[in-house]
Amino acid sequence: MRLTTKGRFAVTAMIDLALNAQNNAVKLNSISERQQISLSYLEQLFSKLRRAGLVESIRGPGGGYILGRDAGEINIAQIIAAAEDELDATLCKGKANCQSGAPCLTHNLWENLNHTINAYLSSVTLAGLLAQQQPDKNTQIVKITHIY
């Protein structure tokens, strides 16, 4: 089981979009430069994200992309699913035919892990991740140079 670059880049690009689209639409080349993700790869991802209703495209001068819904209504599982990335710990893709047509001895373990991961990713919203990106104004940043 592994989250591929498709899912990772989709989540990263959505966070970048949410951070930067608060007043204007964001161009994909801006996200590409900031996140060092290929523009053609982003175009493919955003096509999928748009079809899923997670982003909207704005045409014309000042065009680009904006969130399709409020950041609190978009969760990470939705973004990963829209990017067509699958997180599956089972070897049988959940079909329970792991061992000669029957479930293997650890099928339920991996199936439960899948459910746990999906529940967690469904509970994390884009708004929650945005809050983590913006430092608390009451928190002081202290730089420690050497500790002996």
Domains identified in the chain and CATH numbers: 5-133 (1.10.10.10)
pLDDT digits (tens, 9 = 90+) for 89-139: 888 888 888 888 888 899 999 999 999 999 999 999 999 999 988 665 444
Average pLDDT of the segment spanning 72-101? 88
Question: Would you state the pLDDT for residue 144?
Answer: 47
Query: Which position has the token pair 């523009």?
Result: 39
Question: Would you state the pLDDT for residue 135?
Answer: 61
Coil, helix or strand at residue 102: strand
Long-range CB contacts (< 8 A, 24+ apart) of 100-106?
none
Long-range CB contacts (< 8 A, 24+ apart) of 32-38?
35/9, 37/9, 37/12, 37/13
Whether 14 and 70 have beta carbons less than 8 Å apart is answered as no
Question: Would you state the pLDDT for residue 17?
Answer: 97
Q: What percent of the chain has pLDDT over 90?
A: 65
